[in-house]
Amino acid sequence: DFIKDESQPLEDRIWVWTHYGTAYRATYTLYEVTFAGNWPTNARPVLERVSQAFVVFYLLYITIIVFAVIRVISAIFLKDTLDEAHNDAQHLVLDRLKKKAEYIERLEGVFRTLDVNGRGTLSEQVLNHMLANPKVKAYFQTLEVDVQEGTALFHLLDNGDGEVTLEEFIDGIMRCKGPARAIDTVALHSDVKQLDNK
């Protein structure tokens, strides 16, 4: 009715027609109102030029749709994102456990290769002989264990009985893997203090 009313200013009628003249135009304007955040520029001209009665529609629409619904949807997306991040953390833990199991399996293979006698233990002589081979030393480096000589490695792995078992080998190599860790340094410092006290 406002658009057809020739007593109204032509400029205002054109503006209302452009924004609300058809179902398509009105829908697109409401889309802008909802997501662009420019609802005052689309609502105030209607209230001032057409009718103040439309304030009821805009109050309800802005309050329920723009603020309530959109914020609820945003909160749901945020919750899903945080849940996904939590799942990623769990996945990371499982992935590390899997890699650790694969690493231990490789160490078991190395131990069986080094255990030429099949006794289930390694002596210092066998370890020195094997590590004299550059290929064996290079393979240890692929396991992130930088081994310079067999004697030093043997004394790190041996618990004092003169032989290294599979359990000692895996435990020792796992401790030698990668850079030194702060907890190991603290443990070593504690052991030295206890030895000094004795």
pLDDT in tens, 90-140: 777 788 888 888 888 887 887 888 777 777 887 777 777 777 777 777 777
Asked if the model's pLDDT at residue 150 lies above 70, the reply is no
41-58 pLDDT, tens digit each: 888 888 888 888 888 888
> What residues does each domain of the chain span?
2-74, 75-178
Please state, in angstroms and rounded to a whole number, the distance separating the CA atoms of residues 73 and 99: 38
Are the beta carbons of 50 and 42 closer than 8 angstroms? no
Overall average pLDDT of the 191-198 stretch: 84
Residues 6 or more apart from 86 whose CB is under 8 A from it? none
CATH homologous superfamily of 75-178: EF-hand (1.10.238.10)
Q: Is the pTM of this model over 0.75?
A: no
